[in-house]
Amino acid sequence: MNSYETLPDQLSTYVNKWKPKKGSLVMILHAVQDYYGFVPKEICFVLAKELKVPLARIYEVLTFYHYFRLELPAKYRIAVCMGTACYLKGAPDNLDAIKENLNIPEGRATEDGLFTLEIVRCYGCCGLAPVMSINGKIYGKLDKKKSLGILDEYRQKETDS
């Protein structure tokens, strides 16, 4: 289990490298999220002390940008693209099917902690629309059946391991 009381070495090195630079807060938050998968509250306390900025400043930035997460995501992060091309080519139907299949609304995690469902703006893979990504891997030219099939693959992987 992670303890969030202190910065791990890797992050500490990063913070020290960026600390003297102006305007480094967003980059440091990116590093924290890359490390933990989200930005833990306790780490923000540590950062406030390290960077000598008020906690409110950190939260102000954190809550402005969609990219930062305040909660630990599930093992597999599904992100359905809702860019214009995907929207026109059936992304809303795929999303509904996935919601029904997982029995969760967007922004939530499944009870077994396996999947989180998010909506993203545009991956810039409009040629493959509609697309979704799972933990960063992009799947293209989806329809309902293919989308659900991919979820099953991940479930299968889980039972196999």
Torsion over CA: 126, 128, 131, 133 (sign): negative
| Interface segment toward another protein; rule CB under 8 A; list 8-16, 100-108, 126-134, 144-152 | 126-134
Q: Is residue 138 part of the contact set for another protein (CB under 8 A)?
A: yes
Nearest to 159 by CA among 100, 116, 117, 114: 114
Q: Is residue 129 part of the contact set for another protein (CB under 8 A)?
A: yes
Contacts to another protein from residues 21-40, by CB under 8 A = 22-27, 29-30
- For residue 33, the surrounding DSSP H or E stretch is helix 25-36
Q: Which of 97, 114, 120, 150 binds another protein (CB under 8 A)?
A: 120
Contacts to another protein from residues 50-109, by CB under 8 A = 60-61, 64-68, 82-85, 87-89
Nearest to 140 by CA among 155, 126, 152, 120: 126
Residues 87, 88, 92: CA angle, nearest 5 degrees: 40
- Residues found near another protein in the complex (CB under 8 A): 22-27, 29-30, 60-61, 64-68, 82-85, 87-89, 120-129, 131, 136-140
